[in-house]
Amino acid sequence: MRLILVGPPGAGKGTQAAKLIERLGVPHLSTGDMLREAVKQGTELGQQAQAHMSAGGLVPDDLVIPIVVQRIKQDDCGTGFILDGFPRTLPQAEALDQALQAAGVELDAVAVITVKDDLIVERITGRRMDPETNTIYHMTFNPPPEEVVPRLLHRQDDTEEACRSRLTKYHGET
């Protein structure tokens, strides 16, 4: 199954992808996760991506496209993948089309998740991540157990300002 999940930040793409990979047995390819990992590792890509990400902007196409094109060629993507957060721009969609054509495979589905902007802001600003288990919590909607609270991380781009900027990009470009 080759599936793309599209939706604004905080729509629940990551949450649904985690459920779907268990059923489908294909890898979850999140460009946001890949980029955050590159930032954490301090790679050249990470250094170039960091400023765009923390401001809620998009990482330039020429940095993001090669990561995905390389990734979907790996063996574990042979039976499919769930793409989350890619494509986000027209050039990214075109590059994906080309890569799939070159591999002689087709997409099975694109699922679009829609959520109202104000609810997104509420979800994003309350979102926290447990770095030990990668579990995502929301301080009101899905409160974490007390013992994990001290280690929870609040993403740098999960402020209201960066979130509004990501929403503008989403409506304008994605």
Binding site for ligand ADP (CB under 6 A): 9-10, 31-32, 35, 52-53, 56-59, 64, 85-86, 88, 92, 157, 166
In terms of CB distance, is 43 or 104 closer to ligand ADP?
43
Q: Which is nearer to ligand ADP, 74 or 150 (CB)?
A: 74
Q: Which is nearer to ligand ADP, 26 or 67 (CB)?
A: 67
Residue (14 or 146) nearer to ligand ADP, CB:
14
Q: Which residues are catalytic?
A: 13, 88, 127, 155, 166
Closest residue to bound ligand ADP by CB: 32
Rounded least distance, CB 165 to ligand ADP, Å: 9
Peptide bond into 27 cis (omega under 30): no
DSSP labels, the chain? -EEEEE--TTSSHHHHHHHHHHHH---EEEHHHHHHHHHHHT-HHHHHHHHHHHTT-PPPHHHHHHHHHHHTTSGGGTT-EEEES---SHHHHHHHHHHHHHHT----EEEE----HHHHHHHHHTEEE-TTT--EEETTTBPPPGGGGGG-B--TT-SHHHHHHHHHHHHHH-
Among the listed residues 6, 40, 1, the one whose alpha carbon sits nearest the alpha carbon of residue 110: 6
Beta carbon of residue 7, minimum distance to ligand ADP (angstroms, whole number)? 8
